[in-house]
């Protein structure tokens, strides 16, 4: 780490002040120094608090904060351990999610960083990202579109491990017979897209 940055961090830590301003200063300095590989922040939504993370290439993770897994640890392992809270970098996705939940956004423009996902799983998620607003597909249809028509279970596993739900709309993929059990978020998101109350 750069000695000037180390000194600035020590000085900032030694002086009391606004923690948000301190975080912003540290994140800004880390970004200028090329040390901020992954920026994250918490975002409010009707489904609860979301944790979103982005690299310079795009959104790499957006998860439900109340879930048991530690999504930032996963991003640190798969992308980079240099993860800092930097709300400014997440402003574009925050605005798009707000517009989506308000019913004003039908297609996300936020770029996605596919780095943590490889092979068939990546193809499944990319095909899922192309499912139009308010429409659905089956696991078998997504598997076929991803190049393996008989791999519907593998497609289900890839969707279950989706790091970017909502933006990569796994809620639009259903079993052949309709919903699977215990999918309240999926039902709520599809109802929102269909204009149902």
Distance between CA atoms of residues 44 and 193, nearest Å = 19
- What's the rounded mean pLDDT across residues 69-76? 87
Given CATH 1.10.10.10, say whether it is the number of domain 119-193: yes
Tell me the per-residue pLDDT of 148-158, one tens digit each, with 9 for 90 and over.
Answer: 999 999 999 99
What are the tens digits of pLDDT across the range 100-116?
999 999 999 999 999 99
What angle do the packed helices 119-129 and 152-160 form, to 10 degrees? 80
CA–CA separation, 157 vs 95, rounded Å?
30
* Distance in angstroms (rounded) separating the CA atoms of residues 145 and 127: 7
Q: Which CATH class is domain 3-101?
A: alpha beta
Closest CA to 59 of 109, 120, 119: 109
Distance CA 167, CA 173 (A): 13
> Is residue 49 annotated as part of the catalytic site, yes or no?
no
- pTM, two decimals, is 0.81
Sign for the pseudo-dihedral over CA of 13, 78, 92, 165: negative
Fold agreement between 3-101 and 119-193: no
Strand order in the sheet with 38-43: 58-64, 50-55, 38-43, 83-85
Domain ranges of the chain: 3-101, 119-193
Which among 38, 54, 145, 170 is annotated as catalytic? Answer: 170
């Amino acid at each position: 780490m750069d000695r000037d940055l180390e000194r600035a961090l020590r000085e900032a830590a030694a002086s009391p002040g606004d923690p948000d301003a301190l975080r912003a200063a540290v994140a800004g300095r880390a970004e200028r120094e090329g040390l901020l590989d992954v920026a994250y922040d918490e975002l409010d939504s009707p489904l609860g608090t979301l944790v979103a993370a982005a690299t310079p290439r795009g959104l790499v993770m957006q998860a439900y904060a109340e879930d048991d897994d530690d999504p930032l640890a996963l991003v640190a392992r798969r992308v980079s351990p240099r993860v800092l809270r930097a709300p400014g970098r997440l402003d574009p996705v925050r605005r798009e999610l707000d517009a989506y939940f308000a019913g004003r956004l039908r297609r996300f423009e936020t770029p996605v960083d596919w780095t943590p996902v490889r092979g068939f799983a990546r193809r499944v998620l990319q095909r899922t990202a192309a499912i139009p607003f308010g429409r659905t597909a089956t696991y078998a249809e997504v598997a076929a579109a991803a190049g393996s028509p008989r791999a519907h279970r593998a497609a289900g596993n890839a969707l279950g491990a989706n790091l970017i739900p909502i933006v990569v709309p796994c809620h639009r993929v259903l079993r052949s017979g309709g919903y699977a059990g215990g999918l309240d978020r999926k039902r709520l998101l599809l109802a929102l897209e269909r204009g149902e109350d």
